[in-house]
Amino acid sequence: MKVAILNTNTYLMPPVIPLGIEYLASPLEAHGHEVALCDLAFCEEPEREAVKFIEAEKPDVVGYSVRNMDMVIKKNNVFFLDGVRKIIEAGKQVTDATTVAGGSASLCAGEPLRAYLGIDHLIRGPAEGALPALLSAFEKKKEMPSVIDGWSYEIPPGISHKRGKHISYERYLEAGAPVGIESKKGCDRLCTFCVERRKPLMKRETKSFVSEARELAELGFDMLFLCDSEINLSGAHTKETLKALAGESLGICWTGYFSPFPFDEEMARLASLSGCSSVTLSVTSWELSQGYPYGKKEVRHFCEVLKAEGIRIAVDLLVGYPGESKSSIEKALLAIQKSAPDTVGICSSIRLYDDLPITKKVLNGAPPETVSGKIMGNSGLLEPVWFSGIDENWLKKKIAGESLFILEGESKLGTVNYERI
């Protein structure tokens, strides 16, 4: 079958290379399908460009990658789904091909998102295994559900991706964007506010990962972004991957997100040897203050050993869990300040998504003044709904004069932490 896939993400702060659709090309081609990709990121008229692409390709199936429903951060938030829907509607005007959507936004909602976008099938989670299976079902005239669980389909751990074949990186690199790469998918942790919670870890073979990194280096790219949810979710796999990457001596730098645990001096050393120039550490004030599953000791140790290796550290700090006290947040701020990272971005509002434990907790008992956004008539909470469990004016006063801390949505230094260091 002929498959045309479009990147619908036109938000450029920062520009993000559409790794997801690049990672679909190899498995589709391995199953005998013809693949064409279209990146709409820099298009001034994305609907018009989508129509031109679809008319030229005449595909049997059209896929749409949806990166985010909105900016996730409350202040100066931008809602993306209306623009995505316009692109899909424009495409449907010139083809009767079956439509499929996926991408990281699919983790936020199921059937409500599929219905809102007006597409035939939505793949929730990884599509490298699910999309070839869906196309096989089409060929066999077999019915498939409208919403498909991508996590239930195996992705070969040794899968190889040909980078830069279908997508031009030139404008991304001109804008200073790093090139994405994955060593694993999923997150098996239980964070009640996260759409990636309780997903299976799909670890990639080290040989395959390093081969792709080498190819990117040979193409002239010297800055990679590891797109794993958090790089060190599996300590042994992380060390194996970094050790192999260090052994290649590729002359590249990389960055990515980390958890405070598992982490030790060996991982820090391997990160440095493999080219890590900076990391972003994800923490919450309530976990840090209560000391479980990590506390100030783990965060301080993380920062100390990385700084000893010359690696810069940004911290993403989420504050204001339902019922959390001001003293809990004060403890967290002090602990991070003593750990002395390079910058700390604070988010004081939690974006609520359908079916998450925190959403049920908030909507079933939080004070009305702590919840903002449209609830009634907002199926799947596609439009942003926020929980703000802490007085932001109090928080502003608390961090006033501290250049280390930045309230997310208010910085002029970059919209994501790795741009600030």
pLDDT in tens, 301-322: 999 999 999 999 999 999 999 9
Helix (H, G, I), strand (E, B) or coil at 21: helix
Position 329, amino acid: I
Cβ density class 139-174: b for 16+ within 10 Å, e for less: eeeeebeebbebbebebeeebebebbebbebeebbe
Work out the pLDDT band at 412, boundaries 50, 70, 90. low
Q: What are phi and psi of 308, to 5 degrees?
A: -65, -25
Q: Where are the domains of the chain?
A: 2-152, 170-419
Q: At residue 369, does pLDDT exceed 90?
A: yes
Q: At residue 415, does pLDDT exceed 80?
A: no
Tens of pLDDT, residue by residue over 2-24, are 999 999 999 999 999 999 999 99
Strand-pair partners of 280:
257, 314
Q: At residue 417, does pLDDT exceed 80?
A: no
- pLDDT value of residue 414: 59
Give this prediction's pTM. Answer: 0.96
Helix (H, G, I), strand (E, B) or coil at 324: coil
- Name the helix (H) or strand (E) containing 39: strand 34-39
- pLDDT value of residue 410: 81
Tens of pLDDT, residue by residue over 140-158, are 999 999 999 999 999 999 9
- Give the C-alpha separation, 106 to 329, whole Å: 32
Work out the pLDDT band at 202, boundaries 50, 70, 90. very high
- Give the C-alpha separation, 248 to 250, whole Å: 5
Tens of pLDDT, residue by residue over 261-294, are 999 999 999 999 999 999 999 999 999 999 999 9
Q: At residue 421, does pLDDT exceed 90?
A: no
Tens of pLDDT, residue by residue over 49-60, are 999 999 999 999
Strand-pair partners of 37:
5
Name the CATH superfamily for 2-152.
Cobalamin-binding domain (3.40.50.280)
Helix (H, G, I), strand (E, B) or coil at 365: coil
Task: Kindly state the average pLDDT of the residues 109-127.
Answer: 98
Determine what percent of the chain is predicted with pLDDT higher than 70: 98
Question: DSSP letter at 412?
Answer: S
- pLDDT value of residue 60: 98
- pLDDT value of residue 214: 96
- pLDDT value of residue 409: 86
- pLDDT value of residue 419: 72
Q: Could you say which architecture CATH assigns to the domain 170-419? A: Alpha-Beta Horseshoe (3.80)
- Name the helix (H) or strand (E) containing 246: helix 235-248
Query: Do the Cβ atoms of 354 and 109 come closer than 8 Å?
Result: yes
